[in-house]
Amino acid sequence: MAVFVCMRKVGIYGGTFNPIHNGHLQIVNDFINDCNLDICFVVPNFISPFKTEEIKSISDEDRIQLIELAIQNISKLEIELFELNKKGISKTLDTINYFRQKFPDDELFLLVGSDTALEFHKWYKWKEIVNLVTIVIALRKNESKDFEFTKACKNCKVILLQNELIEISSSEIRELILLGENISSLVPAKTYIYIINNNLYK
């Protein structure tokens, strides 16, 4: 008797998330819905290859806690600590190979920002990456839906996310905290309480 295996759609959303904010959550919700994902993993990096000089302003334990509080009520969304546990500079190919081993029969989708997509050809072994995943690009508000991926990746599997983007960055939030501004509208409620109660980013 033939056995049919249903291929699942698995999303990967990596980043620094320092801190995670409402913009991240809006994008990942659109990612899950537009790509009809069965499950999606938020993957906080240890050291981003593009931010090697950035000083860690909070502990990884606090960053994990902020993410867990932010995503705990979002269906299909989980945190994956592979890059934090591995230490060192986070390489996307290593992470994808990890997920490929974990989900050998499933389809992988990698979410990247449009600014990152334009630099994709500079990523470590990017040609191997595009053979393993479908690239999903989150556009900014002022970008056309005709956004062109890097010419070298023209024939790769690419999806342009029809996302609504909240124009805020983690660095801006950290700056606002230093200035004593209220950030309660920019981050999930439980995340905000944790930041305040633990005096983070000051």
pLDDT digits (tens, 9 = 90+) for 79-105: 999 999 998 788 899 999 999 999 999
Q: Identify whether 96 is part of a domain.
A: yes
Contact 167, 139 (CB under 8 A): no
Residues 6+ apart with CB under 8 A from 94: 83, 86
Per the structure, how many domains does the chain have?
1
Cα dist from 16 to 7, 68, 171, whole Å: 29, 14, 11
β-strands 134-138, 107-113: how paired?
parallel
User: Taken in order 181, 187, 192, 195, is the CA torsion positive or negative?
Assistant: negative
pLDDT at 180 over 50: yes
The rounded distance, in Å, linking the Cα atoms of 88 and 104 is 25
3-class SS of residue 129 = helix
Work out the burial of residue 132: count CB atoms within 10 Å of its CB; fewer than 13 is exposed, 13-18 middle, 19 or more buried: middle
Residue written as token pair 């890059």: 83
Q: Identify whether 145 is part of a domain.
A: yes
Q: Identify whether 71 is part of a domain.
A: yes
Work out the burial of residue 10: count CB atoms within 10 Å of its CB; fewer than 13 is exposed, 13-18 middle, 19 or more buried: buried
pLDDT at 69: 98
CATH number at residue 20: 3.40.50.620
Residue written as token pair 């790509």: 35
Using pLDDT thresholds of 50, 70 and 90, give the confidence band for residue 50: low
Q: Identify whether 90 is part of a domain.
A: yes
The rounded distance, in Å, linking the Cα atoms of 163 and 174 is 24
Q: Which residue has better confidence, 166 or 177?
A: 177
The rounded distance, in Å, linking the Cα atoms of 17 and 185 is 17
Using pLDDT thresholds of 50, 70 and 90, give the confidence band for residue 53: very low
Domain residue limits at 33:
9-166
Which residues partner with 89 through β-bridges? 47
pLDDT at 139: 78
pLDDT digits (tens, 9 = 90+) for 54-88: 556 799 999 999 999 999 999 899 999 999 999 87
Q: Identify whether 4 is part of a domain.
A: no
Contact 135, 14 (CB under 8 A): no
Q: Identify whether 200 is part of a domain.
A: no
The pTM score is 0.89
Q: Identify whether 75 is part of a domain.
A: yes
Cα dist from 5 to 11, 40, 90, 106, whole Å: 19, 20, 32, 10
pLDDT digits (tens, 9 = 90+) for 113-137: 887 877 787 888 888 998 999 999 8
